[in-house]
Structures are given as structure tokens and as C-alpha cells.
Amino acid sequence: MTVGKRRRQPSLAQLRAFAAVAEHLHFRDAAAATGVSQPALSGAVSALEETLGVTLLERTTRRVLLSPAGERLAVRAKAVLEEIGALMEEADALRAPFTGALRLGVIPTVAPYLLPTVLRLVHDRYPHLDLQVHEEQTANLLDGLAGGRLDLLLLAVPLGVPGVTELPLFDEDFVLVTPLGHPLGGREGIPRAALRELNLLLLDEGHCLRDQALDICREAGRAGVPATTTAAGLSTLVQLVAGGLGTTLLPRTAVRVETARSAQLLTGSFADPAPTRRIALAMRTGAARADEYEELASALRGSMRDLPVRTVA
């Protein structure tokens, strides 16, 4: 079996020279436009003709004309050079930090309460960053991160997932939400042991906040929580409490938004150490943009100091 001789390919310099001549139809003007000498320009076009095996120009003493082949290939040369320019611009953008798309996954029990802070920070500090937000439960977010569908996650940790690096942002306390008239409503210093006797309402399966609430109950000495009534989101959960169906636990960042929906609610705080959750950014270990993500985490810690949380250094 014989292998055909590999054809030479035109250089970018040859294509630029030909495109300039095709545009100006004058060697001197084309040379001035490209910043090379006229002999060098002419030599580049001749070399391109030799490489392609076609005549591109009809040269006379008075003017330069494109041959039929030259007219067709001039369009191609211009398109190639435009694509090369676009490639270089894209590479420049990728080299610049906080540009291009950033696909951020957020859990539902974080998104409504923290996204305003995140979006304001990105708008003010990183105006060239194309932030794309996806709200999903933790398992789906981790699948998206592992598969490359998502770049960065904002969620509760620890995850304990190999290949995922966590960038802690803050810790926040849980508060007890009760209906009006409940004996623990509005109290401070509530002992965790009180959770053993409460009719506690939880989110549906799949929400990490449900698992955290169950962990808190176990730490308080409660074996489990009967799933007689559950909700798909915190807003519904709080409305069930307002209707007198039970009590629930809310992360402190959600309290202002959710309890403002009803005048039939009270909140109580736990005695120290209060049950808490930690919120972090999560990225693939060794991510190409790891430095950017770490800088973003630091900026977020600073912007979240006005929230009812304790930022993590």
C-alpha cells in the first residue's frame, strides 16, 4: 500500500497577502495595508499559487485582476482569516479571568435567599461573566458537575464526594418556625431536646435540608420523624406551619423571606450550640478555572457579611 505525498498547506501570511491584493487590486496599496514590502507581498501570493496549483491573479503592467479561480478562492481566504480572527478573540477571552460562561448549579433551599447577593456581586464586579443558573437538587447537581454540564455548585456541605473540592462560604443557624400560640413560638435558648416532642414537618425526599433536619433530630435523641405531611419547597412548608399542621426548621437566611408571607408564624432560636448548616461552592478537583472559583468564593464571603450568617475564612 502506498501513501500519497502530503500536500503542502498555505500559510496565514500567504492568505493575508492574497486577501489584501484581492481587496485592493493593487500591489502597492495591498502592501501598505498589510505592513509588508511590495516584493514580499508579491512573493507570498506567488507562493500561494504554487501551493494551490492554480493561478489567482492576472498581472498586467497597469493593473491586477483576479482570475476566475482567484475570485472563488478570495471568498474562501477571507472566511478562513475571519475564523482565525474569531479563534484568537475567543482565546483572548478565555485567558481573561471572569469572562465567558459560568454554569452555576444551586440547591432550592439556597437559591431564593442567596442568589440576589450572588447576582449583584457578579453584575458589579464581573460584568463580562455570563452567569447561567440551574436550580436542582443535590444529586442532580453533582451529576452535572461530574459530567461537565455544570462548572460550579452552590450548596450545603460536607458532600464527601471524591473528585469534588469544597470552598466553604459560611455557617448559618437553623431556627424553629411555629404557628401563633405555640408554647415555643418566639422563645430564645430553646434546648435541642425540645425537638423530641414536636410535630416536625419536612421537605420531600431528595432535599438535603430534609436530611439535615433528620440529623438534627437524631442528635437531639429523636429516632425519626413520621412523614405524614411533606412539602416540595420551603414556601409550602411554612404555609403548612401557618395553617397549624406542625412546626419546621428553617435556615436563618430563609427566615425573612418565608415568614413574611404570613402573620400566623413565630420563630424561636436554639440554645448554643445551635444546629447549623454550612454553605459552600463546590468545583471539580483540578478544575482549569480553580483560581477564578477561589477568588469568587472570597468575594462572596465579603458580600455575605450583611446576611445573618458567620462567614468561614
| 162 plus 238 within the same structural domain | yes
We report the CATH number of the domain holding residue 46 as 1.10.10.10
5: in domain: no
Query: Is the distance from CB of 276 to CB of 172 less than 8 angstroms?
Result: yes
| 112 plus 251 within the same structural domain | yes
Q: Among 40, 55, 88, identify where a domain stops.
A: 88
Compute φ and ψ for 170, nearest 5 degrees: -160, 165
3: in domain: no
- What angle, 0 to 180 degrees and rounded to 10, lies between the N-to-C axes of helices 27-34 and 12-24? 130
- The alpha carbon of residue 290 and the mean position of all alpha carbons in its chain are separated, in whole angstroms, by 12
Q: How confident is the model at residue 5 (pLDDT cuts 50, 70, 90)?
A: low
Compute φ and ψ for 72, nearest 5 degrees: -70, -45
Host H or E run for residue 202: strand 202-203
We report the CATH number of the domain holding residue 196 as 3.40.190.290
Q: What percent of the chain has pLDDT over 90?
A: 61
| 130 plus 200 within the same structural domain | yes
Answer whether residue 186 shows pLDDT above 80: yes
Q: Among 88, 118, 140, identify where a domain stops.
A: 88
Answer whether residue 290 shows pLDDT above 70: yes
Q: How far are the Cα atoms of 129, 201, 311 from residue 267, in angstroms, in the given order?
A: 38, 15, 23
293: in domain: yes
| 112 plus 76 within the same structural domain | no
| 119 plus 65 within the same structural domain | no
| 79 plus 139 within the same structural domain | no
Residue 2 is predicted with a pLDDT of 45
What residues are paired with 280 via a beta bridge? 155, 168
164: in domain: yes
Residue 93 is predicted with a pLDDT of 63
| 82 plus 109 within the same structural domain | no
Residue 261 is predicted with a pLDDT of 83
Q: Cell 460550579: give the residue.
A: 152
Q: Among 88, 111, 129, identify where a domain stops.
A: 88
Separation CA 179–CA 186 (nearest Å): 10
217-235: per-residue pLDDT in tens? Answer: 888 888 777 767 788 889 9
Q: What is the mean pLDDT of residues 1-17?
A: 77
- Output the CA torsion 235→237→241→243 (10° steps): 70
Nearest to 103 by CA among 133, 148, 142, 143: 133
270: in domain: yes
- What angle, 0 to 180 degrees and rounded to 10, lies between the N-to-C axes of helices 111-125 and 252-259? 100
Q: What is the mean pLDDT of residues 32-55?
A: 92
Residue 1 is predicted with a pLDDT of 41
| 44 plus 115 within the same structural domain | no
Whole-prediction pTM: 0.71
Answer whether residue 208 shows pLDDT above 90: no
Residue 196 is predicted with a pLDDT of 86
61: in domain: yes
What's the total number of domains in the chain? 2
Query: Is the distance from CB of 119 to CB of 126 less than 8 angstroms?
Result: no
Residue 88 is predicted with a pLDDT of 80
Answer whether residue 38 shows pLDDT above 70: yes
What average pLDDT does the chain have? Answer: 89
Host H or E run for residue 184: none
Specify the higher pLDDT residue, 36 or 223. 36
Answer whether residue 89 shows pLDDT above 80: no
As given in the structure block, the three cell numbers for residue 92 are 483572548
| 191 plus 307 within the same structural domain | yes
Q: What is the mean pLDDT of residues 177-198?
A: 90
Total number of residues shown for the chain: 313
Answer whether residue 263 shows pLDDT above 80: yes
| 25 plus 145 within the same structural domain | no
Domain that holds residue 25: 10-88
Query: Is the distance from CB of 151 to CB of 165 less than 8 angstroms?
Result: no
199: in domain: yes
| 52 plus 110 within the same structural domain | no
126: in domain: yes
Answer whether residue 4 shows pLDDT above 70: no
Burial group, residue 163, by CB count within 10 angstroms (0-12, 13-18, 19+): exposed
143-172: per-residue pLDDT in tens? Answer: 999 988 999 999 999 998 999 999 999 999
| 84 plus 206 within the same structural domain | no
